[in-house]
Amino acid sequence: MKPFFLALSILSRIPVPCKLYDGVNEASRATRYFPIVGVLLGLLIGACTYGLSLVFPVFPLAVLIVILMAGISGAFHLDGWADCADGFLSSRPREKVLEIMKDSRIGAMGTLALIFMVLLKVSLLVELVEKLDVLSLSFAVLLSVLAGRCALIWHMKLTNVLGDGLGRSFWNQSLSALFISLFVFGLGIYFLLPLFLMKSLVIQLLISFVWSFYCRAKISGGTGDTLGASCELAEAGFFLGLLI
C-alpha cells in the first residue's frame, strides 16, 4: 500500500500518515496508482459537486467546482501550466526556456495562461450545468479529474524526462502503467458515460499526443511542469469533449 499512499501524497494535499518517499524506484512504482488516486479524488469532488448543485445557481457552482479541482492538488498542476506558458511563449532558446520554467516566479504569460485556463473551465462547466442533470454532472467532474491523472502517465510515455526535479523521481514509461491508466479510464467512462466512450478516449489521447509533441519540439522532452500542464489540458479537454 505504500506506493498508493505515495501517489496520493504526490497528487493531492490529503495528508498521509507517515513518511513515504524512499527513493526513485519507490516513486516510480507509485505512478501506477495515479489512475486509482484519480478515481478517489474524482469521487470526492464529484460528491461535493452533487451537494453544491443542490444549493448554488449555475455560475457560482461552476466557479466552486473549479476551485475544488485546483484545491485538491494545491494548484500544483496549474503552477506547471503557468510555468510552461512563461517558458514556451518567451521565444528564447531551449536552455533559456528551461531556466525560465524553473523560476518560481510567474510572469505575464503565465498569469494570462492561468486566467484563460480558469475562464475556460468555468465557461465549459456553466454550459454543462445547464445541459446535464445533477448526477450526470457529478459523473462528468469525476471523469475529468480521472482524465487529468491518467494524462500524466500518457505524457510520461510519450516524452523523455529532462532535468533533475520532482518529475524525474516518479517518471514512469512502463507499458504496465500505460495499460492500467487506459483500462481504468475506459472502464470509468463505460459505466458512467457509456455513449461518450470512444469519443472521449480519442480526444484525450489526441490532446496528450499533441501536447507531448509540442514539448518535444520546444525543449526535447518533458518536465514536472509539462506534466502539470498535461493534467490541466486533459481536464479542460474532457469538458470540451462533452460539449462537442
Average pLDDT over residues 47-67: 94
Max CA distance (Å), the chain: 51
| DSSP at 54 | T
Residue 65 phi, psi dihedral angles, 5° rounding: -65, -45
Q: How far apart are CA 170 and CA 177, in angstroms?
A: 12
pLDDT in tens, 151-200: 998 898 888 887 666 666 667 666 677 777 777 777 777 666 666 666 77
Q: How far apart are CA 166 and CA 159, in angstroms?
A: 16
Q: How far apart are CA 110 and CA 2, in angstroms?
A: 35
What's the pTM?
0.89
Q: How far apart are CA 204 and CA 149, in angstroms?
A: 11
pLDDT of residue 204: 83
Rg of the chain over CA atoms, in angstroms? 17
pLDDT of residue 231: 94
Lowest mean pLDDT among 23-32, 44-53, 183-192, 230-239: 23-32
Q: How far apart are CA 2 and CA 164, in angstroms?
A: 23
Domain positions in the chain are 2-243
Q: How far apart are CA 139 and CA 3, in angstroms?
A: 27
